[in-house]
Amino acid sequence: MPAPLRALRSGLDFIYLAAGVLAALCLVAILSLIVLQMLARWTGEVFPGAPDYAGYCMAAASFLAFANALNRGSHIRVSILLNAVGPGTRRAIEIWCFAIGSAVAWYFVYYAQKFVYFSWKLNDISQGQDKTALWIPQSFMLVGAVILAVALTDHLIHLIVSGRHRIRRDLVDQSFGE
């Protein structure tokens, strides 16, 4: 593999992993917010906006984790049909699935960026006690959606060029779901 492609590959893999790490940090933030809210209640204090912030972190964690989960084979894939067909048909079905997935993801990104832009332009704020500018938590959703769209497109191109996708199947994770 030429050096520029190797650099691109390692850069994309770093972005996918970094998004997964950020998603994990969002989950830790949710735990921290819940514990702080519990402590505030026990001491008679008020922590305004804690449920709102936890909700923002949950949305951010979900969207940021999508691409990393895809690369690790943690998304649900119905492989009954793929296992029943030959390699040529399997490749065609996978190309079709990644193409549809990429198109839907980019379609979502297009409208999500418009959504974030209009929230910013209209200075839309949350209805809760926190009064957060909504474009800030919405931006995390947009970033996660862009990374997922890039990951799906990356897998599609890799599948077309090399004949196989880059999803690593983790047998330990899969053993719990079967």
Range of the domain at 84: 3-177
User: pLDDT of 46-91, one tens digit each?
Assistant: 888 888 899 999 999 999 999 998 888 777 766 777 778 888 888 9
- The answer to whether residues 29 and 36 touch, using CB atoms and an 8 Å cutoff, is no
Mean pLDDT of 39-44: 92
Q: How many domains does the chain have?
A: 1
pLDDT at residue 166 greater than cutoff 90: no
User: pLDDT of 79-127, one tens digit each?
Assistant: 777 778 888 888 999 999 999 999 999 999 999 999 999 999 999 988 8
Grouping H, G, I as helix, E, B as strand and the rest as coil, residue 64 is helix
Task: Residue 66: name the closest of 29, 102, 23, 114 by CA.
Answer: 23
Give CA–CA dist 150/12, Å, rounded: 9
pLDDT at residue 42 greater than cutoff 90: yes
Give CA–CA dist 14/77, Å, rounded: 24
- What is this structure's pTM? 0.86
